[in-house]
């Protein structure tokens, strides 16, 4: 993160956020991180409505049921050439298991199918750990 860079971090769990703060302090980046406690979709909607400066990157590792909603919001917030990254895109192989119809699995399956057809982005899936889906906005 460059000296003039900043991060907007969303979390609904104050306990996890407290852990994160300790590491941010140790790394010397506490002043560059704007932590928003509350549902991420509400935070993203507020950012969209305020016409904030475009983001270079969005990293989504939140409730998987809402990944398509996060994609829609992040696509509005990320600048052309910016990236939207989705963690756990392979969902431990569940996305290709037709017998797995869990809500989160279905949502990730839809996102994985949707992005390659979205002409607003270029897409890559990196089979690193549990899968990293990358969308680069045009």
Question: What are 61-71's pLDDT values in tens digits?
Answer: 989 999 999 99
Cα–Cα distance, 34 to 56 (Å, whole number): 15
What's the pLDDT at 62?
84
97-127 per-residue burial string, b: 16 or more CB within 10 A, e: under 16: eeeeeeebbebbbebbeebeeeeebeeeeee
Confidence band for 1, pLDDT divided at 50, 70 and 90:
confident
- Average pLDDT for the chain: 96
Cβ 36 vs Cβ 66: under 8 Å:
no
Task: Say which residue the tokens 């305020």 belong to.
Answer: 50
Quick one: average pLDDT of 86-114?
97
What's the pLDDT at 65?
97
């Amino acid at each position: 993160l460059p000296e003039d860079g900043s991060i907007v971090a969303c979390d609904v769990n104050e306990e996890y956020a407290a852990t994160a703060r300790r590491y941010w302090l140790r790394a010397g980046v506490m002043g560059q991180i704007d932590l928003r406690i509350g549902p991420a979709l509400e935070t993203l909607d507020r950012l969209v409505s305020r016409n904030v400066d475009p983001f270079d990157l969005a990293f989504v590792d939140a409730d998987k049921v809402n990944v398509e909603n996060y994609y829609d919001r992040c696509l509005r917030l990320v600048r052309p050439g910016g990236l939207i990254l989705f963690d756990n895109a392979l969902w431990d192989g569940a996305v290709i298991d037709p017998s797995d119809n869990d809500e989160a699995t279905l949502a990730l399956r839809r996102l994985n199918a949707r992005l390659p057809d979205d002409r607003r982005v270029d897409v890559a899936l990196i089979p690193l750990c549990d899968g990293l889906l990358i969308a680069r906005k045009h």
